[in-house]
Amino acid sequence: MNENNNLNNEFENFDDDFAQIVVNNDPDEIITDTIIEINETDTVNKSSRKGMRVFIVALCIIVALSIAITGGYIAGRYSVRSSNNDGTLIELFSKSDSEKYSAEVIYQQVNKSVVGIVIYNSEGIKGYASGVIYSEDGYIVSNDHIYEDAPNAKFKIYTYDGKVYNGTYLAGDTRSDLSVIKVNSSGFFPATFGDSAEITCGEQVLAIGRPSDATSASSITSGIVSYVNRRVRNATNYSSKLIQTDSAINPGSSGGALVNMYGQVIGITSSKLVGEDYEAVGYAIPSATVKEIVESLIKNGKVVGRSRLGVSYQEVDSVTAEIGGSKIFGLKIAEVSKDSDLYGKVKEGDIITHVNGKAILYDDIILDIIENNMPGTEITLTVVNSSQKNITLKCKLLTYEGESSYKTTPNALTPDGDSSSGGTFDFPYGN
pLDDT tens, position by position, 354-383: 999 999 998 899 999 999 999 999 999 999
- Whether residues 257 and 329 fall in one domain: no
- Whether residues 148 and 8 fall in one domain: no
Mean pLDDT of 248-272: 90
- Is 416 domain-assigned? no
Of 276, 304, 332, the position where a domain reaches its end is 304
pLDDT in tens, 206-235: 999 998 789 999 999 999 999 999 988 765
Q: Is the pLDDT of residue 11 over 80?
A: no
- Whether residues 23 and 156 fall in one domain: no
Indicate which CATH number applies to the domain containing 361.
2.30.42.10
Of 304, 319, 348, the position where a domain reaches its end is 304
Tell me, what's the pLDDT at 61? Answer: 55
- Is 144 domain-assigned? yes
pLDDT in tens, 173-183: 999 999 999 99
- Whether residues 173 and 197 fall in one domain: yes
- Is 320 domain-assigned? yes
- Whether residues 152 and 238 fall in one domain: yes
Which residues have C-beta within 8 Å of that of residue 367, sequence separation ≥ 6?
231, 239
Q: Which of 318-322, 386-390, 422-426 has the lowest mean pLDDT?
A: 422-426
- Whether residues 295 and 319 fall in one domain: no
- Whether residues 181 and 42 fall in one domain: no
- Is 75 domain-assigned? no
- Whether residues 299 and 318 fall in one domain: no
Mean pLDDT of 290-318: 93
- Is 148 domain-assigned? yes
Indicate which CATH number applies to the domain containing 276.
2.40.10.120
Mean pLDDT of 81-107: 80
Q: pLDDT band for position 199 (50/70/90)?
A: very high
Q: Tell me which residues are annotated as active site.
A: 145, 177, 254
Q: Is the pLDDT of residue 77 over 50?
A: no
Of 267, 289, 304, the position where a domain reaches its end is 304
- Whether residues 167 and 262 fall in one domain: yes
pLDDT in tens, 308-362: 999 999 999 888 888 888 889 999 999 999 999 999 999 999 999 999 999 999 8
Total domains in the chain come to 3
- Whether residues 248 and 392 fall in one domain: no
C-alpha to C-alpha distance for 361 and 136, rounded to whole angstroms:
45
Residue range of the domain that includes 390? 307-399
- Is 423 domain-assigned? no
- Whether residues 299 and 321 fall in one domain: no
Q: Is the pLDDT of residue 430 over 50?
A: no
Tell me, what's the pLDDT at 49? Answer: 58
Positive or negative CA dihedral for 87, 88, 93, 97? positive
- Whether residues 139 and 209 fall in one domain: yes
- Is 421 domain-assigned? no
Short-list 262, 203, 263, 250, CA closest to 228: 203
- Is 411 domain-assigned? no
Q: pLDDT band for position 394 (50/70/90)?
A: very high
